């Protein structure tokens, strides 16, 4: 598995990462164990979790129980900031909350350190300087190695980087945002800003919740409970079906799958360090790992750009 540097940090991550959102929720402890160990065996080193995954805490708890000595073989990322209770009191990016949230995550993960601690969403109620000072203290204490953000807009990321520089604090090294052949909003402002500040991008939903796997068609609706069914209003429309069908034809002409294109295209984009994808079965990991091996030519990228142009209309 190829490794890439995450932004300007000292972390080397596998180009295909494992999203841990299914652990402790859609799959149980033993199924999680099989997925985790298979991923490590395949050379996948970036494991991306969050405190809310697995019905609030389940994903981190499962990871802590199954990693054991193999914890040292991976780059462990997790997140804070989204609600951990129904009342909405356990959330945000205040110093008080961050200090309690990180201890809870460390306990569930059964580890002494988190390689990448990410703010899961912006907190409009907390000054970014307060957040960064708290995170800086965690880095200095050795509980966190690097920090990142998720779902930040370009201006929010830039404000954070400027504040960190002005105050002499540890800065974000990565952004985790949605990015795929069908969802390309980050190209307008966030990607150029990330290049300027040398941050690494960790795209999530690279398969547009299944639309880019190649297993769906407009004539055969997905099964009940499928991710595409749950988010149909967001992804299923005439434009996306047309683009997907044209991309499938493009892949077939070149002897590749749509899944391979989805991963390889992202890895050909500037700032992308690792593509995050969740799975429920070990065999899915093999497909994801192999998907990153297609090296697209400049001509391929131009062709794909023409097909997907209707999914992205620059402002």
Active site residues: 53
- The owner of tokens 């097909």 is 307
Is 5 strand, coil or helix? strand
Report the alpha-carbon angle 82-116-170, nearest 5: 100
Residue 77, H or E segment: strand 75-80
* Exposed/middle/buried for residue 93 (C-beta within 10 Å: 0-12, 13-18, 19+): buried
For the residues of 212-274, what is the DSSP string, one character each?
Answer: TSS--BTTBPPPTT-HHHHTHHHH-SHHHHHHHHHHHHHHHHTT--HHHHHHHHHHTSTTB--
User: Is the distance from CB of 133 to CB of 102 less than 8 angstroms?
Assistant: no
């Amino acid at each position: 598995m190829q490794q890439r540097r995450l932004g300007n940090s000292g972390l080397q991550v596998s180009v295909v990462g494992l999203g841990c959102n299914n652990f402790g929720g859609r799959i149980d402890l033993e199924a999680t164990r099989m997925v985790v160990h298979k991923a490590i065996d395949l050379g996948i080193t970036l494991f991306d979790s969050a405190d809310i995954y697995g019905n609030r805490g389940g994903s981190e708890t499962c990871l802590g129980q199954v990693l054991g000595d193999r914890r040292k073989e991976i780059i462990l990322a997790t997140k804070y900031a989204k609600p951990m209770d129904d009342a909405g009191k356990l959330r945000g990016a205040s110093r008080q909350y961050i200090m309690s949230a990180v201890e809870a995550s460390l306990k569930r993960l059964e580890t002494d350190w988190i390689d990448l601690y990410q703010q899961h969403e912006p907190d409009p109620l907390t000054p970014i300087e307060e957040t960064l000072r708290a995170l800086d203290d965690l880095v200095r204490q050795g509980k966190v190695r690097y920090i990142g953000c998720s779902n930040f807009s370009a201006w929010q990321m830039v404000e954070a980087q400027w504040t960190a520089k002005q105050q002499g604090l540890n800065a974000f090294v990565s952004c985790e945002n949605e990015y795929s052949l069908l969802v390309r909003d980050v190209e307008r402002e966030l990607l150029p800003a990330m290049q300027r500040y040398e941050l690494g991008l960790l795209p999530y939903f690279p398969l547009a919740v299944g639309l880019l796997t190649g297993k769906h068609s407009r004539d055969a609706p997905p099964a009940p409970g499928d991710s595409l069914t749950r988010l149909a209003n967001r992804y299923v429309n005439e434009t996306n079906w047309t683009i997907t069908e044209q991309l499938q034809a493009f892949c077939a002409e070149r002897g590749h799958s749509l899944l391979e294109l989805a991963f390889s295209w992202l890895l050909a984009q500037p700032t992308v360090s690792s593509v995050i994808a969740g799975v429920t079965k070990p065999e899915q990991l093999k497909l994801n790992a192999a998907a990153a091996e297609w090296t697209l030519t400049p001509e391929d990228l131009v062709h794909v750009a023409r097909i997907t142009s209707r999914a992205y209309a620059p402002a």
